[in-house]
Amino acid sequence: MKLIESITAMKEYSSALKKGGSGIALVPTMGALHAGHLSLLARAREVCDVSVMSVFVNPAQFGPTEDFAKYPRDLESDRALAESAGCDCLFAPSAAEMYPDGYCTYVDAGPIGDILCGAARPGHFRGVATVVLKLFNITAPAAAVFGAKDAQQTAVIKRAAADLNLPVRIITAPTLRDADGLAMSSRNTYLTPGERKQAANICKALFEAKSLFEGGECSVERLKNTITSTIIRGGLIEMEYADIVDPVSLRPFPANTESPALIAVACRTTESKTRLIDNVVAG
């Protein structure tokens, strides 16, 4: 596996591959790799000849009181994991190269970035859209793979790719879960043992709501209340939001409709103050 740390070298690698007729599938990550990331890589390897995984903890998507400083970083471990999973190239640029002095251009994700997680994290999706577009310009992928756990992120990127006519296919890969259902996330390492135990209720609540929805329950309020009561019942998890929305536009789900719905939640633990998100598609 190649390790590339400079933008110029990455562009050269990508254009040489293109000239040779190979396409790149990109898996953008912030590192602290786990099995969920490796499943995205496996999907990337299915769709293109060459897989590139980026590892970059993007300062532009963290708010001033968020966990940018403590976000787990371990390039050596990421490198070993990516290589063992068959990654062709790990791209790990520095923040100074990605955002040099004088940097001032950002991608506005629009209203789709201001709702759900965007309401509690102002500017987050602007930071995500900016870095992902930069990564697309640097690596020139034919496809890019994102995890379904970050449903709003994928919706934002799909929208931006369509709106800005980007020549890249956006692929969503399923959420990987621990044995008790908790969606894999690099932030799960922050959880205290008690929080970790109760965090399984998040997935439980989502699947309960999915089966109620598919059984004909179409009151968004009742579904939200069911989700909330299951998630908060242990006392160590508080709700940020639970919502039922259209999976593409993320607009509020219209009652009495036959189309699928995205049931999404964000919550925060009370001890380690960890923010956790998850979702399921129902219908």
Catalytic residues: 37
**Which residue's entry shows tokens 């070298």?**
9
Alpha-carbon distance values, 183 to 22, 49, 67, 255 (Å): 33, 29, 19, 28
Q: Which of 39, 201 has the CB closer to ligand PAF?
A: 39
Other CB atoms closer than 10 Å to residue 278's CB: what's the count? Answer: 24
Q: How many helices (H) and strands (E) does the chain have?
A: 9, 9
| Residue 56 Cβ vs ligand PAF, minimum distance, rounded to whole Å | 6
The CA-to-CA distance between both ends of the chain, in Å, stands at: 41
Q: Which of 61, 198 has the CB closer to ligand PAF?
A: 61
| Residue 150 Cβ vs ligand PAF, minimum distance, rounded to whole Å | 5
Beta-carbon contacts of residue 71 (< 8 Å; ≥ 6 apart):
30, 32, 57, 62, 186
Q: Which of 131, 265 has the CB closer to ligand PAF?
A: 131
Q: Which residues bind ligand PAF (CB under 6 A)?
A: 28-30, 58, 61, 128, 131-132, 150, 153
Q: Which of 28, 247 has the CB closer to ligand PAF?
A: 28
| Residue 221 Cβ vs ligand PAF, minimum distance, rounded to whole Å | 31
| Residue 54 Cβ vs ligand PAF, minimum distance, rounded to whole Å | 7
